[in-house]
Structure 1
Amino acid sequence: MSPDTIGLALLLLGVLLLVAKFVRVKSKLTQKLFLPSSIIGGGIALILGPDILGRFLDSKYAEYLGVKTDAFAGGGLFGENVIDVWSALPGLLISVVFAGLFLGKPLPKFRDAAQLAGPQLAFGLTLSTGQYVIGLLLAILVLAPVFGMPLLTGALIEIGFVGGHGTAAGLGDTFEKAGFPEGQDLAVGMATVGLLSGIILGIILINWGVRRRKTAVLDSKAEISDAEQAGLMVGEKRGPGAMLTVHPSSLDPLALHFGLIAIAVLIGQVILSAMQAVEQVLWADTIEIFAYVPLFPLAMIGGILLQILIDRFDKNAIVDSMMIERVQGFSLDMLIISAMATLSLQVLAENLLPFLLLAVAGIVWVVCAFLFLAPRMMPSHWFERGIGDFGQSLGVTATGLVLMRIVDPELKTPAYPAFGYKQLVFEPFFGGGLVTAAAIPLIISPHVGAVPFLIIMAVGLAASLYAGLFIFGRKRGKAARQAEENAAASA
């Protein structure tokens, strides 16, 4: 692959993002759905790519219309070489996103984090373990015997929904080694369905919550401005997106923070290589796990270790969390648009019914859990706190944050800190963490298999349900009684 082709592929992604932003500004539908520009751009690239425009230009219909040509058949409007570059980007960029998750954010004290994160973690684990249980039951009882699908398809709901496009694309090598390369396209398709469902259903639930007075901050009179719906920051809403913590004459702040993320990724690579070496020496003849584990969850652990050093030695506070978020945001936008642009619609069409069964089952589970479990598991502000995990469990963390931002725009509830503290424990394992990465090798392993892994996830589901309903749920009852007593006393 020539450097010119790589450069052209990156430039085209930038152009597509700008076109997508223009669509977001001009289209009322995309504004009402709060669709990110990266999703819009990914949809445009998919239409102009090999599976839609390319197939049309190579079809008998194009010949009938007199526009048949082989020039764009292989890669659509962009060409095969550009598509090849785009297909490699998600697996690289996801490590950048995960490496910066905890950089620039001082790690909280354990007691403070545990009090806020406990019910949030129980609810998040309920959603994720439940997705594995539902997916594996479908795979064992329906998908494998009826459609001939491999049992590892039972992990697609959690990989695509909670993990998102980055995790789905990043596990491409794992699917390849497991003998099911189509799994990557199915997972990316699941991520697209989950993200769209998370945003659309999230907006519907927020409107329902406001009308039914389930929200503590947002009321039916609150309005979102046209500029906010278009995704624009105007007037006093504008502010610095990052801080200049070092003088640009010595080193540009963006370069500094990119360097820190690079160190976190390299630490993750060292950890992964060490784990793989130990596995080869001790138990590789029996079972292999780390041979299938991708880099990005270890890059996140590298970021945590680096942040511990930063907390200890960074006396000048040169690490800015907002600058880290800008690097992550850029990487995530490029990741999503490139993953969607290279999605294989043919694979989805060939496995449409199994795909729909998994997607619908996953969506129904998350919606029901939000409506019936979140009110009973969260000690307070169940809607604001639950909607974040709802969004994350269908889309990605960013979806959850967007929905929380809508229901709590001024951060008046404990939803944000509770969600953030939960991520410290949740992310290293689920949503692209070690459990997500190890699920496929464990399911296909002759020493573990789908049924034992299903039992493990079922035990995890039962434990998280018990903790949420009978430990943290009791605190909700005590909090409600205390509020009633305080109201009666004040009256």
Structure 2
Amino acid sequence: MIWISLLLCLATFLRSRIKILQTFLVPASLIGGILGFICVNLGIVGMPTMEGWQPIPTKVFSVMTFHLFAFGFVGVGLMKSKETNTSKLMFRGGLWMALMYCFIWSVQGIIGKSVFELWHMTVGGDFDSCLGYLLGCGFAQGPGQAHAYGSIWETTYHVGNAMSMGLASAAMGFVVAVVIGVPLAYTGIRRGWISGEHKGSLPEFFLRGIMKKGDNPACAKATTHSATIDSFAFHLALMGVVYGLAYTFGLYWTLFMPAGVNGLGFGLLYTWGMCLAMLTRFVLNKTGSSHILDGDTVRRITNTSVDFMVCAVFLAISVSELQSVLMPFLIAVILAALATLVLIMWYARRAPEYNFERGIACFGCYTGTVATGMLLLRIVDPEFESPAAIELGIMNVIILLLSQPLTVGYPFIPSEACPMFLIMVGYVVVVPIAMYMLKLVKKVAW
């Protein structure tokens, strides 16, 4: 935690001083993560002990990534859902994004699997070609889920380096989102691809990453008296209790469920945490006690876990563990990045409304997380005048239904009976047809 904290502080300082980092809107967590990746693979990351300086293995940061991700989902479950305008236009936009999500995830997975399989057949190598599927998961779903699936594969099916591969895929996804996404956003502004009168100008504090003196908006409200317990401490303690219950549930699942599915106990810890958090909020609502939860405080704790998690992702990657798959991995990353860019832009040009705003938000989301999608959207739509930001929220609800074959099947990919390749091919074939039938593909707009 001290190493991650040090890297985040250093990264925040660098972002506030270095122009190119501001131009590309590189998040502090990503800057710190890249610096940490260099340090950990040079053997610099360690700690002083009574026996002298001891290196910290990358597996420690892998475990931290896993728990930070799952803990963040407790916050997601506790957060009060905001009322959103689900008008026909925004529902159509959310549906467009959700269909694109399933389509792009499948394309990325097919590319990853195909590259790894072809490399294994032609060049050889001591690795399982199913690792290629983690590229799509890392790009489309982010580090937490990629690590969760990787841990299931390692513990249940003994697939070597699956967790490292999942984390590496997610880390490269963040890099792709920034390196390609930011120039793409500015290109859209210069060429007039954006809708309305958005100027794309960003305030100085947004670029530097540090607020001006005296310009400090409130970020939370107290729900307990500090003489009893600090409000932040109470929220953190409640989330800790819920996470403890989720961990216990995952442990019992692992111990008592049959082989083949017992790996889901800890692999889906984030799901158990979110469900128990939603149950907690439901009980608080029914008992008239929901006022003790402040949504902004929960959101800050959740965002904090995400920042620490993204930084930890890079520290968890060991180059030595990825040597056997390094070349096919890099080839797959480049091909997947190009395919994601071309396909999203092709469909964005033909989207019913707010073409570029939806496209840039999707690109950031499907190579990183929703946070990177919002980051890129902020460039072209600084005041969020378009409905694209709300549509990202609607998209996440629709995805729960549309992506079930993918999310349910991913833990079982290493088993011989899992038809994941055919499932992905099915999405690649069916989604474009569905988009045409639903009139989500129009004439070229730009």
TM-score by length of 1: 0.78
2: CA distance, partners of 1:107 / 1:312: 18
Amino acid at match of 2:55: E
1:233 CA drift (Å): 2.1
1:189 CA drift (Å): 2.1
Q: Would you say the 8 A contact 1:289–1:438 is kept in 2? A: no
| Compared CA separation, residues 15 and 176, structure 1 to 2 (3 A) | same
Q: Would you say the 8 A contact 1:126–1:461 is kept in 2? A: yes
Amino acid at match of 1:97: G
1:394 CA drift (Å): 0.8
Amino acid at match of 1:383: F
Question: Is 2:239 the counterpart of 1:249?
Answer: no
1:131 aligns with one of 85, 108, 127: 108
Deviates more, 1:78-87 or 1:208-217: 78-87
Q: Would you say the 8 A contact 2:112–2:134 is kept in 1? A: yes
Aligned position for 2:421: 454
Q: What does residue range 32-71 of structure 1 map to in structure 2 within 5 Å?
A: 32-49=23-40, 51-53=41-43
Aligned position for 2:75: 100
Q: Would you say the 8 A contact 2:202–2:382 is kept in 1? A: no
Q: Point out where structure 1 has 5 or more consecutive residues left out of the alignment.
A: 1-9, 56-70, 481-491
1:442 aligns with one of 409, 412, 435: 412
Q: Would you say the 8 A contact 1:91–1:171 is kept in 2? A: no
2: CA distance, partners of 1:472 / 1:100: 37
String of CA shifts for 1:254-289, please: whole Å, max 9, x gaps: 233324433553564466567667852xxx47x777
Q: What does residue range 154-165 of structure 1 map to in structure 2 within 5 Å?
A: 154-165=132-143
String of CA shifts for 1:373-423, please: whole Å, max 9, x gaps: 1333x4321221222221111112211121122222212111111101211
User: Secondary structure of the residue that 1:233 maps to in structure 2?
Assistant: coil
Q: What does residue range 394-413 of structure 1 map to in structure 2 within 5 Å?
A: 394-413=367-386
Aligned position for 1:26: 17
Question: Is 2:332 the counterpart of 1:355?
Answer: no
| Compared CA separation, residues 28 and 159, structure 1 to 2 (3 A) | same
1:328 CA drift (Å): 1.4
Question: Is 2:330 the counterpart of 1:342?
Answer: no
Question: Is 2:296 the counterpart of 1:322?
Answer: yes
Q: Would you say the 8 A contact 2:99–2:402 is kept in 1? A: no
Deviates more, 1:263-272 or 1:13-22: 263-272
1:214 aligns with one of 167, 172, 193: 193
Q: Would you say the 8 A contact 1:157–1:190 is kept in 2? A: yes
| Compared CA separation, residues 277 and 338, structure 1 to 2 (3 A) | closer
2: CA distance, partners of 1:31 / 1:263: 39
2: CA distance, partners of 1:78 / 1:165: 30
1:187 aligns with one of 132, 150, 166: 166
2: CA distance, partners of 1:332 / 1:227: 21
2: CA distance, partners of 1:230 / 1:105: 30
Q: What does residue range 243-282 of structure 1 map to in structure 2 within 5 Å?
A: 243-262=221-240, 264-266=242-244, 268-269=246-247, 272=250, 279-280=257-258
Q: Would you say the 8 A contact 2:24–2:178 is kept in 1? A: yes
Aligned position for 1:66: none
1:359 CA drift (Å): 0.4
Q: Would you say the 8 A contact 1:90–1:335 is kept in 2? A: yes
Deviates more, 1:25-34 or 1:242-251: 242-251
1: CA distance, partners of 2:130 / 2:435: 29
2: CA distance, partners of 1:271 / 1:434: 24
Q: Would you say the 8 A contact 1:171–1:437 is kept in 2? A: no
Amino acid at match of 2:10: V
Aligned position for 1:417: 390
User: Secondary structure of the residue that 1:224 maps to in structure 2?
Assistant: coil
2:339 aligns with one of 339, 353, 365: 365
- Whose radius of gyration is greater, 1 or 2? 1
Q: Would you say the 8 A contact 2:251–2:266 is kept in 1? A: no
**RMSD of aligned Cα (Å):** 3.4
2:437 aligns with one of 463, 466, 470: 470
Q: Point out where structure 2 has 5 or more consecutive residues left out of the alignment.
A: none
Aligned position for 1:198: 177
2: CA distance, partners of 1:295 / 1:454: 26
| Compared CA separation, residues 188 and 249, structure 1 to 2 (3 A) | same
Aligned position for 1:62: none
| Compared CA separation, residues 133 and 271, structure 1 to 2 (3 A) | farther
String of CA shifts for 1:31-79, please: whole Å, max 9, x gaps: 2221121222222223332x22459xxxxxxxxxxxxxxx99xxxx973
String of CA shifts for 1:458-491, please: whole Å, max 9, x gaps: 22333332333330416x67xx9xxxxxxxxxxx
String of CA shifts for 1:311-345, please: whole Å, max 9, x gaps: 55556644333222211121122222223123201
Aligned position for 2:209: 231
Question: Is 2:152 the counterpart of 1:152?
Answer: no
1:235 CA drift (Å): 6.2
User: Secondary structure of the residue that 1:410 maps to in structure 2?
Assistant: coil
| Compared CA separation, residues 383 and 47, structure 1 to 2 (3 A) | same
1: CA distance, partners of 2:257 / 2:119: 34
User: Secondary structure of the residue that 2:273 maps to in structure 1?
Assistant: helix
User: Secondary structure of the residue that 1:88 maps to in structure 2?
Assistant: helix
| Compared CA separation, residues 30 and 434, structure 1 to 2 (3 A) | farther
Amino acid at match of 1:446: E
2: CA distance, partners of 1:278 / 1:340: 34
2: CA distance, partners of 1:154 / 1:312: 46
